[in-house]
Structure 1
Amino acid sequence: MGRLRIRIFLFVFALSVALLVVSQQLAWRQADEQAAQLQVQQLQHRGRWLVETLRFRIENQVGPQLWLPWLAEHGVNHDTLHHLLRSGAFSRIEQLTPEPLAVGDSEAPDLAALEPHVTTGQWFAIWQAQQLWLVQDHLLTAGSEPRRLRFLRRIDLGVESAAGEPLSALWIRQDQQWRPLWSQHEDLSADSIRRQLQQIGGAESLSEPVLTGSARFAFTPFQLLHHELVWVQQSWISSDAMAASLREWQMLALGLLAFLLSVGGALWLDRSISRPMAALARYMRRVGAGEERVAPPSLPVRGELAAVAREFAFMLSTLAKREESIRHLAFHDSLTGLANRHRFAALLAERLGDAQISRLCVVVIDLARFREINDTLGHGAGDNILKQVAARLLGVAALRQQVARLSADEFGVLIINVHPAELMQGLSQIAAIFDVPFQVDKVSLEVRASLGAAVYPEHGDSPGMLLQRSEIALFQAKQQKQRIVVYSPEQDGHTLRRLTLMAELRAAIDRDELSLYVQPKLDIAGWRIVGVECLVRWHHPQYGMVPPDEFIPLAEQTGAIRQLTNWMLRKGLDWAKRWRDDGLQLKVAINVSTVDLLDPLLAKRVSGWIRERGLPADALLLEVTESAVMQDAEGALPMLRELRDFGVDLAVDDFGTGYSSMLQLKRLPVGELKIDKSFVMGVLRSADDAVIVRSTIDLAHNLDLVVVAEGVEDDTTLEWLKRFGCDLAQGYLLSKPMPADLLSLWLDQAPYLCAGREHVGLGHGPVEL
């Protein structure tokens, strides 16, 4: 802005000077023209009056006489007059204004000052170029008539002295040549006068002197017969110098005025343009730097800058609203309107920095099997459930404004200043909101949830640590199938174990640290073992035997589930080949996940492994969970059909725990349906479980499906299943999962027939392995 102000000042200064110079020149020219015109008019008037006056005086004189004393006083001596008389026979020579007219130093000569001189016989020749006529008597010769007076013209000629002294000279022109008769000063030489006369074209021509402030000389020629008498008289024109000096002062005054105008204009421009622009620039820089709530600068209400400021303010207002909307979207969940994970962490940090808060509890809530709701009923139903959960959490008075949605099916809650004795009560109050079914399109849905909690300051003093430990507690709740778990330091070991297992699972598969376990399936009607379900166990070098419920979810999270499934398929088919070679016609059942079903090469690999071992296709049964199929039914169906067309048998595992519809179940190319053990184990204690199991058996038979009951642990349950027509049974009543290499030994001791062998084992009940 400093450079802009300098440029504005220089521009205004130059413009002011130019305008003042032009206007002054025009004013001077107009004044000169008016003065010249006025002087011409005055000189013409004075000239006519003067001629008449001189004519009257001369015509009324008695006789010719020579005013010798008067002339002598002005430098005309007797020799000069005698010479003049001889050369021209003058009867009278009259000099008009032989001395300079006194002119003051402070004012120019005025024509009115000439009047007293004219009336007394004296006249001063004004240096303006005008035709002014003077008169001179002629000599009267004997016997001749008096001659008439003759009017002669006057000219002005400038001759300048080197010393600047008054100079006077008397010249005569004879035979077309000018000769000096007398000169007061040697500088007034003949050559100098001659050059001046030649420049004006002779004595009878006119010339307007240049007003330079220096001396001027008046030449008054008198044409007498063949001679001309010229009186040269120097007169000081101090008025010229005064005029030049006046103009110099005027130029100085103009310069000062231009400077003052420039300063004033620059100040005005600075106040009306530069300062508002600087203020607007500072405002823009502060806004650009990210400052919030910056007050706009005070600008004039009119003008372009004000319009720019208004438009900029409007733009900022629009951007502020948009930024506020973006900020809200960045820190809030668009579906529920709750704070998101980032905002929840920031809110937690604010509460931790509040001196009035001594304790708080961070709660993380996970909705069980929420993905199945989305896949079965659609995302609209899932969104409806999420909104209802958010509304119920906000409805808890102690949690208002402290609720967030952390992920798709995970919520976060802060409980402020909770007393240790009231912690479980507050957590139970949160868990209680899931006791009431959720209504979706007139359908009641029971949504279960797990809660993990961490308390400040016992479990951490930073947002990251509290969130991490509350999620550790949540993981424990889900693993232990508990509703509420509060963090304890012992759980960190489980977290470290979990991270270690996740990192080492792939290597464990490659190092063959996994083992294949099997659990027999019993044909209830024929009391025959017809197949086995293949299970995997991990013998970790540090943690020992790791159960599948612990590492299979880790395999799904890390993407190692395909590698694990391929290992089980190869191992299971190897044992199927070995058993068949031993005469045991057992069908091996292996679980596959949704990720496996979306693998386009799964059927090709399975068919290739079966052919390599020379097995029939129906020697393999692939079990898919109800939730896995419903998660992406359209994507899984083509692969299931391809496997069925090859001859592989298919089964739906854990039926009853998902949200599949009868229409979707009918579309699946499966031949077997397995009832989840959670229902089977309760048929003798719960009428509801009994109804569900009976209905499932009837439904499966109506769809020509084989029914398998999991979780059979006693003879009474087995008899109940047999009475209601269940086809196959699996559970601890028969055997716990055993290593695959012990199956033959178990069959030798078990009281069951086996497909491919016509005799039972030696035992009379369950075999302890």
Structure 2
Amino acid sequence: MLALFLLIIVVILAITVFVVKNGTYDHSVRQALIHSDTSARTTAEKLVNQGTLLQTALFDLTGNFSVKQLIASAKEDTASLASAMENFQSRYEADIYFVFDNQSQVLTQSADTPLPVDPQQIYQERIAFVDINQQVYLLAAAPMKFVKTSRRIDGWIVMGMSVDNIINQRLFDITQVHISLAKLAESSKVLASTFEKNLFEQIPLKKLAASEDLQEISFNSKLYFYSIQPLFEDSPYHLVLMTPEDLAFISYNTLIYDIIILMLGSAVLALLSAAILSKIIAGPIYKLVKAADHIRQGEYVTDFPHCSTNEVNSLSVAISEMQSGIQERENQINQLAFFDRLTGLPNRNQFNKTLEDVFSRESAPKAMIALIDIDRFKEINDTVGHETGDKLLTLISERMQYHANEKDLYARIGGDEFAVIFDHPDPKRATFVAEQLVNLFEQPFVIDNLVLDVDVSVGIAHAPEHAKTAEQLIQCADIALYSCKGTHTTYAVFEPSLNKYSLQRLNLMSELKEALIRGELELHYQPKIAVDTNKVDTVECLIRWIHPEHGFIPPDEFIGLAEQTGAIRYVTQWVLREALSQSQKWQAQGIQVGVAVNISAVDLADLRLPGIVSQLLTEYDVDPSLLTLEITESAIMGDPKAAINSLNSLRRMGIYLSIDDFGTGFSSMAQLKKMPVHELKIDKAFVLDLADNNDDKVMVKTLVALATNLGLTTVAEGVENQQSLDYLAEIGCTKGQGFFMSRPLPIDKFDEWFAQYTSNNN
């Protein structure tokens, strides 16, 4: 009987050992392979996500009007572009950047060595790894177009992150798998690894079989189980995943040893405790087998068996802890991929995924989103430091969540940008919702006894009215957001006109330089008549744009934009060249008439202006006294000291200087007496109704007297009738200009008018 019990126990335990060992081993192999696959996908997604985040950030950058301005003026002001790019590099947590012009020539870069590949090649690849100065970087590139719809690429921005900052010890701590990024083709080189550098350089890549199944290899005096998987389909890059044996599998020797001890103990006590041991051990072990099988199939088990047998309990705890470890690592990976580390809010990936889910649920989904941008956040960061800036972002996220609807999704999608997906979209309440979001920031934020007032801009868009896809809806909200910046309002709901206006503005600015080359711009000429002699003294040269698609474009619609972008310099140089060329032709015909050209504040601040004017005067052999430069009051008063220095240089050249639109600007008498000008041009606002308005008469008479006392000549702009001209003669005004004498005319019609006017007044 004892032998029978012993035999039964031995058979039972042997079966148990066999089932548990094989089941657990099979599960462990599958789980290790699944874990290896999960780690590979996670790493690939992390690399691709980083590349996508960089690419998205670069698209934002290349669409940013200020960045376009900096790139357009980079050759004159590289320092400003470099400073801005360093700020963007810090904001996007990038390690390196390059900025190229449309010829792929570097405008500025953070690296000590040049980029060894063309930026267009980087842009065309889904993901690019480039060795720069013995350091491998994950690079993303985006083309910059001055006009979004243009086919022409006007520049490139490239940013990258060191792959060592992505594939490192922290990744191993999360996945418990040593992951190496390698290029198996050609030189079979390891680009980055969670191993220390002195180890990963020794990985015998050529000995590794390219297989996605688990293989064994002895490396660094340890046994590793490895698999090799492509980073993504048809990629030259592969992930080598190596798991140490002690982490890949449960220790079978320990398990067998425990069971053998159990067998011996059970054999000794077989006669007394066979029945009890059968109940205590067989039941829980069977449950463990089932639990192990569930885990092997990827199912999580919540109820692990417990009993008074320590060995079974230890095994149960070990399997439970193994499952918890796997679940925890998967949660950590998910947290990294879909949540913002600073605020804990969902990140851009989660925001986009949630919005895509909304659009995928039905054919005409209803959705409403808001994009929230913190105004002057860079200024706050620069003033109080990034640590305080991070605390501010955390407080902002907490306040928004505290006041949020329970089912609304709040996300941080950028450095200082948040987004909301509303659970109950109602387009009629869009304005109310925007006001509520703005009101959240009425109360200041207190950080370490520092009180910060924060303003925001909010852009709202809703579907299906504004967009048919999630991407379009985000773009619409973004357009609404940035319309706030341009109009200095706190919120805006998207309207189609906002998008059209932005595109038209960008198109005009992009086409302006080409228009100069294609001859779409022309000068019209309006005479200034000497009041005492009725002779044409000077001709003002006024620019006109005849667009092949839009027709006549008023100067007010493109001159202001040209000043903002710096393109006004090219326009002014073109006007000067055309005006002096025409002056040369008139001199050849024996006509001694001066030409007047308007100069902007941007031109006046350009230290090269006097040299350019001097060169053109020499080129066209025009006497400097025949050139009048008209400068508005606001251009001078913006930086009086610099303006006066520039004007002094021009005056010393013999050029005639005139203050344009006098009386409508700041009209600082203290600055006026210091200005080296020859002439005041009285604004037409005081001259148009001069014949019938006594107040205008008093104002014009006062301005003429002021100019006379300062030794300046005067021009009255806006003369509409003979009575106004007679009054100007009566008070001693020097010149008159207006529609009464002539409208601005193209050169052929002006020549006809001039010939007839000269004949009539001789």
Q: State the TM-score, normalizing by the size of structure 1.
A: 0.41
Q: State the TM-score, normalizing by the size of structure 2.
A: 0.41
Rg (Cα) greater in structure? 1
